[in-house]
Amino acid sequence: MGYAEVSVNSPVAQRQTFSYAIPSGLSIEVGQAVWIPFGDKLLQGIVLELTDYPSVEETREIAGIIEPRPLLSLSRVLLARWISEYYLSPLFNAVALMLPPGFERKALTYISTPQAPTEHDISSLTEEQKHVLRLVQRQGKVNLKQIEKALGFRQARLITAQLLRQGLVVKSYELERVKAKPKKVRHLLLAVKASEALEEAAKLREQGKATGQACLLKLLSQTTQPVPLSEARRRANCSTSVVQAIVSKGLAEIKEIEVRREPISYRGITPSEPLPLTNHQSLALKAISSSLLQMTTNSTSPNVFLLHGVTGSGKTEVYLQVLAEAVKLGKRGIVLVPEIALTPQTIERFAARFPHKVAVLHSKLSLGEQFDEWQRIRNGEFEVVIGSRSAIFAPQPDLGLIVIDEEHEWTYKQQDKSPRYQARDVALKLAELTGAVVILGSATPDVETFYHAQRGDYHLLQLPERVVPNEGSPLPKVEIVDLREELKAGNRSIFSRSLSQATAKATANNEQVILFLNRRGGATFIQCRNCGFVLGCKRCEVALTYHFDEDTLVCHQCNYRMPVPQTCPRCLSRRIKFLGIGTQKLEQEAGYSFPRARLLRWDSDATRGKGSHQTMLNKFRAHEADILIGTQMIAKGLDLPLVTLVGVVNADISLNLPDFRAGERTFQLISQVVGRAGRGTLGGQVIIQTYSPEYYAIQAAAKHNYTLFYQQEINYRHELCNPPFTHLARLVYSHTNDALCQREAERMRQRLSEEIESQGIDNLSLIGPAPAFIHKLRGRFRWQLILRGTEPSAFLSQIPIPPGWVVDIDPLGLT
């Protein structure tokens, strides 16, 4: 007898699999979905492994098969295991990432007659038993619920159990009501030959009656394909009764036909041809193509390329051509984009190059659409799947290429629920398991990615220049405005003189302006309006956060506290201010300063619901507004040729987040904004307003110089032992009682430090506990602990984490 290790869909299963015996006659494969008895319930499980021996003495049997075809390939099974182990998440949560949408449902029990009915003497049965048996025989298959309704729960269970024991009926399980049914549409087609239909139509016409029917018959005779009923009615301009008339005459019939939901509309997309590449592009293509040719699954390190190039340097064209190479080799690809709603142009370009071979997966699709796409992807109908972070789990067969565009984006990390995975790291793991080649593309690579490229873990490919199709559009001019000087000159507006003049001039010339303000979170920091000094923690070098409730400044990393000073510690000025202006306030101010300009605010408050990004973008592109005001959302891949001026209203906001990635964040944001300007032929200008004009990240971004930034940043990371030199794990405890929260956090610290000591681990350190950056969230207080070292995940995996704690491995930030 064989056994299966099954990942069970139950919260108590945690990171474990359970052993089940495989009943004889049932053929079970790895990756298959099965029903298994668990306690007194019947649950869903996925078979992760087949074994000759069970891992426990007593096993129960697998109750049935949910779907005959395995849902997960072997590589995805291994990937799920890795995710669960590394991110310390329940195993089924990791498995569920790879299941078809709408899969998680309850089992329905059916009673039916056996396939080979045996001769039985049923005279000994009770009347009720006979009654149930007859019902089953009559209907072939009966839902157990139906019998329960008729006889009552206990009686129904008792009787069916007796019938089952005698082999008179058998039991099977099916998924509860399918939430995402294939879409069926009523179609109309001829039931007679086309010539007959035309004859009939001519006859009706001659008689001068029933012109509707004649019209409809003519329409149907023009095609051998069934026509959707609604379309037929619209084209023949006829009513339902006309349709009924020809159906009842036996001339046509109505059929339910399964149709595909098409999430991409190919209407208006003209197929495109590969462009002749620039030198840099073709070097990149050659390097990646040769690696595609040598793809192997048995190497332990995947083939990873970092394609580093500014916006407009032709990265997407390289992705397209590498993908074409992969397709030639019989392979397929997955392309991840940071946020699908913001990348319609990228999707269109793939759709134009690979017509009808592009699948789009993202959470805004209806469940039905997601279900359809998943099935079609698994059937190998697409050459490429495009989607946001979860598209990495698409069941794309023959995977040869994974592209992660804008690989530095934070949206690739799932933060809000378990598994808290980083799609980029998952992609690297998947590539290792499948032999696929990975391209990480960015204008501002993540410092950790670049570090790996420098070390030779990844191949570094550079596209140093913008592709300039029609001369013009060089990188824009960047001006840094020192806000301290503005104050000295008596300008108290949030617009510097420079930004104010440039905005007025651009709008007067009928050009467009983007004003950018990145405000995140509710807490605020304190800055001297005279010298720009921001109060920071002496121990952690991160900005202190002001807590309104206690009127205190707090370090969110180590819990250092101090009262709000009356004067600036650096210049002794009394003009110490709380900073925290948002986009709404900015809109108001812009209204006063530029009364003639039409304003459009674009932030997450202004864009809710499907399609509103696109609406907003179309509006602005159609020049229905002069000034676009927004958060970091507007800094993403948009092509806006009329924009000639971009203003960064306060570059210091991301810079002062209490986080070691603040410098990197600032650099990325400013670089992206700079990349927005001057993509058209009009050229462009960028004005950055800051209190810290000498700050390395701002300086480097203004000079379009990634290397300059990277060199500084990697030194800081090294000095302070931050990633990529270490890994972090963040543990957050939340509770309605703040004091209790703090005590629990201190207890955990105690526990962990004892463990570190007793195991003699010397490369792990504990930071905190301290209140989380958002100390109180939805009525609950939050305290956090940071574990920093070589392998915090491996260390934590052996420690039972009490309920109430959330563990985040490789957290994005410490805020």
Interacting residues with ligand ADP (CB under 6 A): 275-278, 281, 309, 311-317, 467, 469
Closer of 276 and 563 to ligand ADP (Cβ): 276
What is the C-alpha to C-alpha distance for residues 486 and 477, in angstroms, rounded to an integer?
Answer: 21
Distance CA 347, CA 180 (A): 25
In three-state form (DSSP H/G/I as H, E/B as E, the rest C), the secondary structure along 63-90 is: CEECCCCCCCCHHHHHHHHHHHHHCCCC
Closest distance to ligand ADP from the beta carbon of 315 (Å): 3
Q: For residues 736 and 616, give the distance between their C-alpha atoms in angstroms, rounded to a whole number.
A: 40
Q: In what order do the strands lie in the sheet with 18-21?
A: 60-61, 18-21, 3-8, 41-51, 33-38, 64-65
Residue 309 touches which of ligand ADP, Zn ion, none (CB < 5 to 8 A by kind)?
A: ligand ADP
Q: Which of residues 521-550 bind Zn ion (CB under 5 A)?
A: 528, 530-531, 533, 537, 539-540
Binding partner of residue 181 among ligand ADP, Zn ion, none, CB cut-off 5 to 8 Å per kind: none
State yes or no: residue 774 binds Zn ion (CB under 5 A): no
The angle, 0 to 180 degrees and rounded to 10, between the axes of the packed helices 229-236 and 240-248 is: 110
> Tokens 């009770």, residue?
126
Binding residue for Zn ion, selected from 570, 574, 610, 718, defined by CB under 5 A: 570
Q: Which does 560 bind (CB under 5 to 8 A by kind): Zn ion, ligand ADP, none?
A: Zn ion
Pair 517, 507: CB distance under 8 Å: no
- Closer residue to ligand ADP (CB): 251 or 677: 677
Helix, coil or strand: residue 619: helix
Minimum CB separation from Zn ion for residue 786, in Å? 11
Nearer to Zn ion, 4 or 537 (CB): 537
Question: E strands within 756-797?
Answer: 764-777, 780-789
Give percent helix, percent strand, percent coil of the chain, each to the nearest 5. Answer: 35, 25, 40
Alpha-carbon distance of 432 to 427, in angstroms, equals 9
Q: Kindly tell me which of 462 and 793 has the beta carbon lying closer to ligand ADP.
A: 462
Which is nearer to ligand ADP, 480 or 634 (by Cβ)? 634
Minimum CB–partner distance for residue 88 and ligand ADP (Å): 36
Q: CB 353 → ligand ADP: shortest distance, Å?
A: 11
Residue 715 binds which entry of Zn ion, ligand ADP, none, CB below 5-8 Å type-dependent? none
- Pick the closer one to ligand ADP by CB: 196 or 348: 348
**Nearest CB to Zn ion, comparing residues 236 and 576:** 576
Q: How far is the CB of 557 from Zn ion (least distance, A)?
A: 5
* Backbone angles phi and psi of 531, in degrees to 5: -115, 0
Q: Which does 537 bind (CB under 5 to 8 A by kind): ligand ADP, Zn ion, none?
A: Zn ion
b/e 317-331 (16+ beta carbons within 10 angstroms → b):
bbbbbbbbbbbeeeb
- Whole-number minimum distance, CB 695 to Zn ion, in Å? 16
Nearer to ligand ADP, 315 or 424 (CB): 315
Stretch that binds Zn ion, among 199-207, 571-579, 625-633, 681-689 (CB under 5 A): 571-579
Residue 337 makes contact with Zn ion by CB under 5 A: no
Q: Which does 469 bind (CB under 5 to 8 A by kind): ligand ADP, Zn ion, none?
A: ligand ADP
Residue 570 contact partner, candidates ligand ADP, Zn ion, none, CB within 5 to 8 A by sort of partner: Zn ion
Nearer of residues 380 and 469 to ligand ADP, judged by Cβ: 469
Q: Give the whole-angstrom CA distance, residue 667 versus residue 655.
A: 9
Task: Report if residue 796 touches Zn ion, rule: CB under 5 A.
Answer: no
Task: Compare residues 421 and 458 and give the one whose CB is closer to ligand ADP.
Answer: 458
Instruction: Choose among ligand ADP, Zn ion, none what residue 467 binds, the Cβ cut-off being 5 to 8 Å by kind.
Output: ligand ADP
CB of 661 to ligand ADP, least distance (A): 24
Distance CA 551, CA 345 (A): 48
Q: Which of 560, 716, 725, 805 binds Zn ion (CB under 5 A)?
A: 560
**CA torsion angle 452 453 456 462 (round to 10):** 180
**Binding at 617: pick from ligand ADP, Zn ion, none (beta carbon under 5-8 Å per type):** none
Contact characters 208-247, Zn ion, x per CB under 5 A: ----------------------------------------
Count of beta carbons in the 10 Å neighbourhood of residue 737: 11
* Residue 160 interaction partner, one of Zn ion, ligand ADP, none, beta carbon < 5-8 Å per kind: none
Q: Which amino acid is at 41?
A: K
The one-letter code for the residue type at 207 is Q
Contacts 24+ apart (CB under 8 A), 119-126: 120/166, 120/167, 120/168, 122/168
Instruction: Give min distance, CB of 445 to ligand ADP, in A.
Output: 13
| Partner in contact with 315, chosen from ligand ADP, Zn ion, none, beta carbon below 5 to 8 Å by kind | ligand ADP
Residue 39 phi/psi, 5° resolution? 60, -130
Angle made by CA atoms 634, 406, 396, in degrees to the nearest 5: 120
Do the strands 727-735 and 780-789 form a parallel or antiparallel pair, or are they unpaired?
antiparallel
> Taking CB within 5 to 8 Å according to partner kind, which of ligand ADP, Zn ion, none is near residue 557?
Zn ion
CB 670 within 8 A of CB 688: yes
Size of the site for Zn ion (CB under 5 A): 15
Shortest distance in whole angstroms from residue 631 CB to ligand ADP: 21
Output 90 or 532, the one with its CB closest to Zn ion.
Answer: 532
CB 95 within 8 A of CB 802: no
DSSP code of residue 13: G
Report the C-alpha gap between 446 and 651 in whole angstroms.
19
487 lies in the binding site for Zn ion (CB under 5 A):
no
Using the rule CB under 5 A, which residue among 161, 164, 571, 799 binds Zn ion?
Answer: 571
Q: Residue numbers of the site for Zn ion (CB under 5 A)?
A: 528, 530-531, 533, 537, 539-540, 555, 557-558, 560, 568, 570-571, 573
